[in-house]
Structure formats: C-alpha cells, structure tokens
Chains A and B, each alone.
Chain A
C-alpha cells in the first residue's frame, strides 16, 4: 500500500508537469470532439492521431492517446442525449432514456448526470487499475509460451462469446482477422507469406489502416447517403442542475455501473460497448418501476455512462500487465507504445515505472479535466454538430488518408484502408461485427509464435498445453465457453446474452442505422 502511494506520488510528479498536463488536456478536448462526431469513433480517432505522437516522448504520447480514448467516452454521450445520434457505439444505450429526457426538457440534468457518473466511474476504475495491474503483472511473469497461447485462444473465444450477435459470426470474423495477421514474413523461418509481389507487406498488414478502414471509412460509407440529422438542442448552463430526486435515483446505478464496467473491461471484447448494454439491462431489471425505462429514466443514463467509462480503465489492465490487448482500442494503443520502443507486459511496471505511474496519474487528471470541460462547454461543443454532414465527411476522409499514410509513409496502407472500408461496409450491411477482425489481426503473430515456441520447447508434444496448470485451466475455460455457446446453436433456445440486453443492440442499430 505504502509502495503504491509512493509510486502514485512519482506518477503525479510526472503527470502534473506542464507538458504532460497540456497533452492530457489536448487529448481530452480532441477525444470529446471525436466522441461527438458520428463517423469518428475512439478507435479511428486514436489511429488517425498516432502519427502526430511520433515526435513526442513515450509518456506524453500515451497520455495524449489515452485522453482521446476516455474523452471520446464522455463526448459520445452528448450527441446521444441531445440528438439521439450515438457519437460512438458505447453511447447507443444512452440514446434511449437520454433523448427522452431531452424531449421532456431535462437535457441539462441528463448531461450533468452523464458527466458526473462518468467522472466518478473513471476515477474509481483508475484506482482499480492501480491496484490490480501490478500484482497481475507479477503473476504473469510465470507465463511461458504455452500459457500465452492458451490466454490468446481464451481471449478470442471470450470476445466472440461476449459479442452481441451470433457467436459463429463473431468467431468467423476473428478467424478472418487471424488469417490477415498471417500475411508477411514468418519470423521463425523467414518465408514471405501471401505477399503477391508487394515488399511493403513484409511486416504484415498494419493495424491502423485496418482499424480506420473497418471503423472510420465504413461508418462514412453507411452515413454519407443518409438524410440530414435532426435539429440540435442547446442547453443553457443554468439548466444543467439535476433535481434532488434525480441525484438519489442515479447514485446506485453509478456505483453498480462502475464495478460492472471495470470487471467487463478486463475481459477481452469490445468492453466499453458491452458494459453499457449489460448495465442498462441490469438497471432495468433492478428497478422498482421498470416501465419508466425507455421514457426518460435517469438510471438509464447514469448506469450505462458510468459503465462505459469504467470499462475504459479496465481494458488497460490486461494490456499493461500482460501485454495482451483486450479489444481493438487497446490493440492500437499497444501498437502506439511499440512505436515508441515500449513493450507492454509484465516487465513494463518494473522497467518503466515513470511511464506506468505517470499514465495512471494522468488518468486522474484527465477525469477532472473532462468534468470541467464537458459541462460548461457543452454549448460550444454542440456547435460542431451544426456543420452539415456533406461538409463533415469529406474532411474526415481527408484526415483518414493523412493519418493512415503518415504511419509508414506508404500508399499501400491507403489501398488497405480503402479495401477494409469496402469490406467493413459490406460486413455491417450483412450484420457482422468487425471488432474481432482487428483483435485477430493483432493477436495472430503472438499466437503463432507462442504456439510454435511451445511445440519447440516440448519437442513437438501437445501435452505441454495440458501439463502446465495455468495453461490447462485457461484452455479448460475456453472449451467450457465453446460448449456453452453450442447449446443455443443446437437447441435454438434462449441465449443468456439476450437476458442481459446484448440482443437489444441489434434492435437499436436497425432503428438507428
């Protein structure tokens, strides 16, 4: 405990230096704007700004990118509440009751509850990250190639199991991502696989063009031809204060959302999205008057908004402690750290304490910055939404081209982005999720390397995966998940995910394409 506090002191001494503070502030502002703009989610936002961090040192770069991530979580709620347009996918559930509150003239309190809930959840989940990541990293030092193989297989299966659509569809997307990750030079033998004469593919397909294509470009393709968004409600500062009853109704959902979001954040998957769906379902189930949900219940705003912010910090736990990203956004963050010569994993906390603790402290600072930014400046940010989409999307497209090219100075990446944009558009039309592709792409080289190293260690015996207790336990859980998921496949019965609200995502997406 004393050691943690000393480390935190070290972290604050770094986070409160003017340059780091400035980048945390810039990240929060950019993230808020990214979260508000339909078509630029946190993943595309982080990917696009990655080249701009090349000139920064590792700490400021990661602080800036993390600021964009949790800034986007805050920003997404504003458009959901005021316009019923989720700026990013995690805010979809906030649309339901947030917009109903706006229609009843309670937009200000909805925004205030979302901001305060996000602040509390964000701050408390950083405490969780601070206490959980170091012991987990110490434990992970026992991991060898078989344990990493088992962990990566488990991660992909959990991602598929937690997805909102059908599990075979999520798994097939993960397999596609893993297959894309096979392109490039095989590090163990030097064979150049699936290159078709393109030398640029030697290092494989980059995560940035794939992420920007699948998320940013496909969103533009789906949205550009749609009708003009509805008029924007602009609340005044004095309208922001919630009533005493609204505070009372929100307190417990904020607490539950914080814990739930953090726990879901640690599990692989699109944690921030899933957590908001599960939180909404939980609040509706626990409510004494569930009929109010969908008609402006403040709990329907407080719970999901707290949960998605809490999940943001939770998602950093496996990334920082194990070096294994739990979703596409931590995967891009990990790529950003690698660009700066840092390998996230069990040794990070010991070898780079100033980076780890500076990052933790900057998250506390970032949450305060966001609370200050979000409420008084909401009227200012809303003006951005007044830019007609026919002007907005060409500008976003130009930034996509710029950001993707700048990472490797390669036009091949722009071709990959274009192809992935078209693929993402078609997949979303056919109701497939694209997040498993990105995660599969990132995990593929790790999985192949650890798998082949394991076999080399055991002279080709597969028993190595079952003789070691940690690897065997993880594989057992993976098999159990597979069997559980087969049940609805065979019986066509009711899936557990329907009961926690994950099925609602599809319904809402259809309503709000």
Chain B
C-alpha cells in the first residue's frame, strides 16, 4: 500500500542515490585522508539508510490518498508569485515586481475588487521600498524609469 511514509522514504532514498552518483566527479580520498567527496558520500549513505528505515516502518502511516490538499491551488499560485519575483526582481526593479505579485495574488487568487487591489499593491510596494531602501538603507534593485 502507498502510505505517506513509504513514499517520502522512497523519495529520500532516490535523492541519496542521485547524490552519491554526483560525487563521482570529485576526489574521494581515503579513509585516513578524506577528500572533498568523502563527507557528501557518507551523508548520502546515511540519508539513504534512514530513508529506507522510514519507508520500511511506514506501513502504519496514513495512506497517500487520505492526505487532503484543499490549499494546493493557493500554494501553486503563491509559488508562481515567488518564481515571478525571482525572474523579474533585477529586471523590473523591486517596486514593479512586488506590485505585480501583490496584484496577482489579491486580484487573481483572492478575487478582491480592482480598486482595492490597486490601492493595496501600490501602497505596499512603494511604502516598503521607502522604509527599507530610503530609511533603513537596504539596497534594493530599481527597474525601468528609475522605479
């Protein structure tokens, strides 16, 4: 049966195998004089072993189908907002990027009224920039037209 612990444990074993495979590019050294691949390989072995223990003992954990994901739609949208911020922050600047992310989350995900969305997104993006960049001297990127 596919239980949550069995799936998670198997994923961790897979991660350990991939990591161990990746260490082949680095010198392993010896048991008495470890090289740069020694510790990652050792940790991959520990990760894999413990992942196996989690998977083997996971028979009593909840079935994968029993897990509820009511917030998954919101979660995907929020992660998309983060990815957009990472892609555009240095191109569009802090204020424009944050404005777009807030407008997307408030208008598209939360379905708030356009006037409210515009006011909150504009107010928050510009006031947080003023607080951190101007008052606290935290360097934040500017975009086109100095925004």
> Contact at B140–A402, with CB atoms within 8 Å?
yes
Instruction: Choose from A402, A415, A452 the contact partner of B132 (Cβ within 8 Å).
Output: A402
B35: which of A168, A189, A406 is its contact (CB, 8 Å)? A189
User: Which of these, B33, B75, B136, contacts A52 with CB under 8 Å?
Assistant: B136
Judging by beta carbons under 8 Å apart, are A193 and B40 in contact? Answer: yes
B14 at the interface (CB under 8 A from A): no
Output the least CB separation between B9 and chain A (Å).
8
Chain A residue total in the interface (Cβ 8 A)? 62
Residue in contact with A179 in the complex, picked from B47, B67, B112, B138, CB distance below 8 Å: B47
Contact of B79 with A397 in the complex, beta carbons under 8 Å: no
The one of B50, B81, B101 in contact with A168, judged by C-beta atoms closer than 8 angstroms, is B50
**Contact flags (1/0) for B84-104 with A, using CB distance below 8 Å?**
011101100010011001100
Given contacts A179-B43, A394-B102, A455-B32, contact A409 B139 (CB under 8 A): yes
Number of residue pairs spanning A and B whose beta carbons lie under 8 angstroms apart: 180
In contact, B22 and A194 (Cβ under 8 angstroms): yes
Cα A195 to Cα B43 in complex, Å, equals: 18
Q: Is the CB of B51 within 8 A of A179?
A: no
Residues of B within 8 A of A390 (CB): 106, 110, 112
Q: Which residues of A contact B27 (CB under 8 A)?
A: 189, 191
Q: A411-B90, A461-B32 are in contact. Are A421 and B5 (CB under 8 A)?
A: no
Selected from A188, A393, A401, A448, the residue in CB contact (under 8 A) with B85 is A401
Least distance between A444 CB and chain B CB atoms (Å): 8
Q: Please, how many angstroms separate the alpha-carbon atoms of A221 and B126 in the complex? A: 25
- Rounded to whole Å, the gap between the CB of B115 and the closest CB of chain A is 14
Tell me if A24 is interfacial: C-beta within 8 Å of chain B: no
Q: What string of 1s and 0s marks CB contacts (under 8 Å) between B45-74 and chain A?
A: 011001101100100010000010111111
A203 in contact (CB, < 8 A): no
Q: For residue B91, which residue of chain A has the nearest CB?
A: A411
**A394 and B105: CB pair below 8 A?**
yes
Residues of A within 8 A of B17 (CB): none
Residues of B with C-beta under 8 A to A405: 89, 94, 140-141
Assess whether B89 is in contact with A411, with CB atoms less than 8 Å apart.
yes
Chain B 102-133: CB-based contact to A (< 8 A → 1; otherwise 0): 10011000101000000010001100100010
What count of chain B residues pass the 8 Å CB interface test? 69
For B37, list chain A residues within 8 Å (CB): 193
Counting CB contacts under 8 A, is A395 at the interface? yes
Q: Which residues of B contact A421 (CB under 8 A)?
A: 78-79, 82
The residue of chain B having its C-beta at the shortest distance from the C-beta of A412 within the complex is B86
The residue of chain B having its C-beta at the shortest distance from the C-beta of A449 within the complex is B39
Bound together, the chains give a CA A430 to CA B8 distance in angstroms of 7
The reply to whether A172 and B50 contact each other, CB–CB distance below 8 Å, is yes
A55 in the interface (beta carbon within 8 A): yes
Q: Which residue of B lies closest to A190 (CB)?
A: B36
A411 touches B86 (CB 8 A): yes
Q: Which of A52, A398, A432 contacts B98 (CB 8 A)?
A: A398
Q: Which residues of A contact B43 (CB under 8 A)?
A: 175, 178-179, 182
Check if B44 sits within 8 Å of A220, measured CB to CB. Answer: no
Quick check: B32 and A460 within 8 Å, CB to CB?
yes
With a CB–CB cut-off of 8 A, which chain A residues contact B74? 221, 224-225
Q: Which residue of A lies closest to B8 (CB)?
A: A430
Shortest beta-carbon distance from A458 to chain B in Å = 9
Is A414 interfacial (CB-CB < 8 Å)? yes
Report whether A414 and B140 are in contact in the complex, using a CB–CB cutoff of 8 Å.
no
CA distance A401 to B36 in the complex (A): 33
What residues on B are CB-neighbors of A452 within 8 Å?
A: 34, 39
Tell me, yes or no, whether A375 is within 8 Å of chain B by CB. Answer: no
Q: Which chain A positions have C-beta within 8 A of B19?
A: 179
**Most chain A beta carbons < 10 A, residue from B27, B94, B102, B136:** B136
Whether B33 lies near A169 (C-beta < 8 A) is: no
Q: Does A356 lie at the interface of the complex (its beta carbon under 8 Å from any beta carbon of B)?
A: no
Is the CB of A431 closer than 8 A to any CB of chain B? yes
A398: chain B residues within 8 A (beta carbon): 98, 101-102, 124-125, 128
Shortest Cβ distance from B125 into A: residue: A398
Interface pair A168/B54, CB less than 8 Å apart? yes
Q: Which of A54, A415, A460 is within 8 Å of B33, CB to CB?
A: A460
For A402, list chain B residues within 8 Å (CB): 94, 98, 128, 132, 138, 140
Contact with B along A411-438 (1 / 0, CB 8 A): 1001101100110010101111000000
Complex contact B4–A182 (CB within 8 A): no
> B147 interface residue, CB < 8 Å from A?
no
Alpha-carbon distance A55/B133, docked complex (angstroms): 12
Q: Which 5 A/B pairs are nearest by Cβ-Cβ distance?
A: A460-B32, A225-B71, A225-B74, A414-B86, A172-B50
Residue pairs across A and B with Cβ atoms less than 8 A apart, 7 shown, are A168-B57, A397-B78, A401-B97, A405-B94, A411-B90, A451-B34, A452-B34
Inter-chain pairs besides A395-B124, A406-B138, A431-B4, 7 sampled, C-beta below 8 Å: A54-B138, A193-B26, A224-B75, A398-B125, A402-B128, A429-B69, A489-B57
A residues bordering B, Cβ < 8 Å?
51-52, 54-55, 166, 168-169, 171-172, 175-176, 178-179, 182, 186, 188-189, 191, 193-194, 217, 220-226, 390-391, 393-395, 397-399, 401-402, 405-406, 409, 411, 414-415, 417-418, 421-422, 425, 427, 429-432, 448, 451-452, 455, 459-461, 489
